[in-house]
A and B are shown apart, each in its own frame.
Chain A
Amino acid sequence: MSLDVDDLTVTIDGRRVVDGVSLHLADGARLGLIGESGSGKSMTTLAVLGLLPPQAVVTGSIRLDGRELVGLSDRQLAPLRGAAIAAVFQDPRTALDPVMTIGRQVAEPLRLHGRVSRADARRRAVEALAEVGLDESVADSWPHQLSGGQRQRAVIATALIARPAVLLADEPTTALDVTTQAEVLALFRRLVDERGASLLFVTHDLAVLAQVAEEAAVLSRGRVVESGPVARLLGSPAHPVTRGLVEATRATTWRAP
C-alpha cells in the first residue's frame, strides 16, 4: 500500500507543530523521516495514525492507497490501525502491558480485528514471535522477564501479526544497545523486503537512517526542508539543516579507522 501525505498541518493550542508537510511512501518502499526533537516528525506519525491529542487541528490530506484518513472518526480509523497500518514506538518498556503475557499481547491485534479462536491466536503469536527471532517460551513470559531487545522484538511482532501493509516505526531502536539495534534494523529491512510492506522510519540518527531507508525527508520546525535519496542527502546535503545534521553526525559517530 502507498501512503501519501499532502500539505499536512497540525496545530496544537495555537502552535503549528507540522507546517505543510508532504511525503510520498510508495508501495514496498522504505522512507526515512529525519529531524531533531521538536521538528514535528513524531507529530506527523501520530497524525497518520489518528492518535494526536484531542485539541489538535489537522488540515491537508493523508491517503492510504488513495483513501482519505484526515477527518475519519476514531471508530472509522480503528479497523485500519494494527491491521492495514501498524506502529512501533521508541520505548519497549512502556509499550507493553506489564500484567499481560507476551503471547496474549502479540495476539491482541488479531482479537481486536476479527474472531479468532484462542488456539489460533496462540499459534499465530508463536509464529510472529519466531519471525522476530523469539522462541515459543517467550509467549508465556511477562514483559519484566525480557531484556530490552527482546521486548522491542515482541513489540515488533505485535505490530506485524495482522500483516499490516504500512509500518510506521518511530525511533524504534533508540532505547536499545547497539548490537541489538543492528539486529532490529536488519529485521525491519528483511520484513519489509519479504512482506512487500511499506516502511516509514522516523529517526534523529542519520547513521541509523542510512541502514534502513532508501529515500528520506528532513524535517525542521514542522517543515520538510529537503528530501531525496539518502545517499545524496548524506553525500551532498543542500539545506543548512541537513548539512548541520551531517556534520554533527560525522563529529560524533564511529568512523572505521
Chain B
Amino acid sequence: MTDSDTQHVDGGTGPLLSGRGLSRTFTLPRRSPLQPGPVRHALVEADLDVGRGESVALIGESGSGKSTLVRLLLALDRPTAGTVTFDGREVRPDRASRLRWLRRRTGVVLQDPYSSLDPRMRIGDVVAEPLRLLHVPGDHERMVADVLDRVGLDPQGVDLWPHELSGGQRQRVALARAVVHGPDLLVGDEPMSALDVTVRAQILGLLAELRHDLGLSLLIVSHDVGLVQHLSDRVAVLQGGRIVEQGATADVLGRPQHDYTKRLIASVPTLDGS
C-alpha cells in the first residue's frame, strides 16, 4: 500500500468536492481538408462545489454538459481549462493506482440496473469487486454482508446472478456496490429513471437513509425534477454547456429565473394534470 492509498480523515473545512472554471472542448472531425475541424464547447467555465454532507443535483437536458461535468469532477476526463479538488487535494486523470485514493472516497451508481451489473458475476462478487480493486483492508465477506443488509437485501443472496433479481433489487445491488468501500461522496447518474414508481419511492427513501446513516455527500445527475426536489439541498441547472442557474433547491425550482429552468418546471407532469 502506498502513501496515497491512506484514507483521509475528515478534518477539512472547505467543500468536499470543488470544480473551478471547468471547461471542456471537443474538436469534431474536419469537414474540409483545408480547415480545422469545428470545436464543440461541451462545458464552459463551470464552478461547482459539493459541501461535506451536502446533496447537490445537476439538472439539464441531454447534451447540456451534465455528464461532462461529472466526468471532469471524477477525473475520468481532463478539463481543457480549470481545476478540480477533492478535500483540498487536486484531482486530475492519471494511472488507476494514483487515483485509488479518490476512487476509495467516491462511489458511483448508474442509470440502468439491467446493464450496469455484469451478468456473469454473482451478486457477492459484484459487490465485493470494489474492495478488491481498491485494495481495501478488512474482512470483505463481512463487509459485503453488512452492506447488502443495509440496502435491504438478504445477505444470503450473494450466490444469486443478476438475472435472478428484479429491477429494484438490481438497483439496490448497484447501490451496495457503490457504498461498500465507505466513500464520502456518492455520485448518481439518473439513478432512478429506469425504475417503476413504487421502486423509485423505495430507492429514494434508501438514498436518503444512506446519506443520513453514512454521512454521505451526494452528487446526483438527473432531469427528474421530482427526484431533485425530494433529495437535494442545492441544484445547478445546465444548458448548452453552461451553468445557467444554481442555488438552494427550493429557490431554484420554486422561483426559477432562467428561461430554460422555467420551461423545465412548466413541462413536468404533476398529479393534478396541470
Contact = CB atoms under 8 A, between A and B. Distances in A.
B269 interface: yes
B272 A251 contact: no
A252 B167 CA distance: 17
B273 A177 contact: no
A36 B196 contact: yes
A92 B199 CA distance: 25
Given A230-B273, A251-B204, A254-B225, A181 B267 contact: yes
Interface in B195-251: 196-201, 204-205, 223-227, 229-230, 250
Interface of B: 61-62, 167, 192, 196-201, 204-205, 223-227, 229-230, 250, 253-254, 263-273
A244 interface: yes
Given A177-B62, A204-B197, A205-B197, A185 B269 contact: yes
Contacts of B225: 178, 254
A251 B230 contact: yes
B271 A234 contact: yes
Nearest to A36: B196
Contacts of A244: 198
A179 interface: yes
Contacts, number: 95
B204 A252 contact: yes
Interface of A: 36-37, 147-148, 177-182, 185, 204-208, 210-211, 230-231, 234, 244-257
A248 B201 contact: yes
A248 B197 CA distance: 6
Nearest to B204: A252
Contacts of B61: 177, 179-180
A37 B167 contact: yes
Q: Which of A148, A234, A257 has the most CB of B within 10 A?
A: A257
B270 A179 contact: no
A210 B197 CA distance: 15
A179 B196 CA distance: 21
A252 B269 contact: no
Given A207-B270, A210-B269, A251 B201 contact: yes
Given A179-B61, A181-B269, A182-B269, A254 B229 contact: yes
Contact of A245 (B197, B224, B230, B264): B197
| Interface of A (DSSP majority class) | helix
Contacts of A245: 197-198
A252 B201 CA distance: 6
B253 A179 contact: no
B267 A36 contact: no
Contacts of B272: 210
B197 A255 contact: no
A210 B271 contact: yes
B201 A207 contact: no
Nearest to B59: A178
B226 A252 contact: yes
B167 to A, nearest CB: 6
21 contacts: A177-B61, A177-B62, A177-B223, A178-B223, A179-B61, A182-B266, A182-B268, A185-B269, A204-B196, A211-B269, A211-B273, A230-B273, A248-B201, A251-B204, A252-B192, A252-B197, A252-B227, A253-B226, A254-B226, A254-B270, A257-B254
A210 B271 CA distance: 6
A247 B201 CA distance: 9
A253 B270 contact: yes
A210 B270 contact: yes
Contact of A250 (B167, B263, B271): B271
A147 B61 CA distance: 12
Contacts of A204: 196-197
Contact of A205 (B227, B269, B273): B269
Nearest to B272: A210
Contacts of A205: 197, 269
Contacts of A250: 271
Q: Which of B167, B227, B263, B269 has the most CB of A within 10 A?
A: B269
